[in-house]
Amino acid sequence: MTNTTSIVSFETGSAPQGILRPVVVLFILLSVLTGLLYPLLTTVVAQGLFPAQAAGSLIVKDGKPVGSALIGQNFTDPAHFWSRPSATGPQPNNAAASSGSNLGPLNPALVEAVKGRVQALRDADPGNTAPVPVDLVTASASGLDPHISVAAANYQVNRVAAARKLEVAKVQALVEQSTERPLWGLLGEAGVNVLRLNLALDAL
């Protein structure tokens, strides 16, 4: 008889109070656990163990944040090293609109964009006949990549040295010092954080 009553109650859309109460209690408990306690715990642990990363991996100069080690910046001055192109809008390296170009390798628009970027690099350093590293003319999937390859940094050494009237060897040494090696020598590839490199360059 009890089973029949329960079935009828569900079919008519009225859940028995014996079922409704634990559902509400469970909803409240899970909301507090996942919406309040868990985020609070992870925030406290992150701030305690990884304070710099939890704060956004900010790079500070003269006591003021000048950027993040995780987000690229759009350098266009010939006296600075240039970052990868960024496909984010409405401006490059917009962290609020992380995205790639979504253009396939055979897309005419991408081909034309790459040609234009190659020409801009050639115009900025006419005497440089070395092959242009691919990461200097293509955007990353996020559009926010703060690193360039060591080859991309080396490609720009002569231009930067000439613009600043510095010895090429001095700028080259700075690139070497700024190169980040693979984790434990195994994970990832060597790269150069462009913002860190340009800050070190400005400090010369």
Hey, what amino acid is at 201? Answer: L
pLDDT digits (tens, 9 = 90+) for 71-100: 999 999 999 999 999 989 889 999 888 988
Measured CA angle at 137 (ends 166, 188), to 5 deg: 85
Report the chain's mean pLDDT, rounded to a whole number.
88
The span from the CA of 10 to the CA of 12, in Å, is 5
Q: What is the pTM of this model?
A: 0.77
Please check whether residue 152 is in contact with residue 135, taking contact to mean a CB–CB distance below 8 angstroms: yes
Interval 134-143 mean pLDDT: 94
- Contacts of residue 175, defined as CB under 8 A and 6 or more positions apart, other chains included, come to 150, 153, 154, 157, 192, 197
pLDDT digits (tens, 9 = 90+) for 89-136: 889 999 888 988 888 888 999 999 999 999 999 999 999 999 999 999
Please check whether residue 197 is in contact with residue 171, taking contact to mean a CB–CB distance below 8 angstroms: no
* Phi, psi dihedrals of residue 187, rounded to the nearest 5°: -90, 125
- State the CB neighbour count (10 A cutoff) for residue 73: 17
Cis status of the peptide bond prior to 85, with omega within 30 of 0: no
Please check whether residue 55 is in contact with residue 65, taking contact to mean a CB–CB distance below 8 angstroms: no
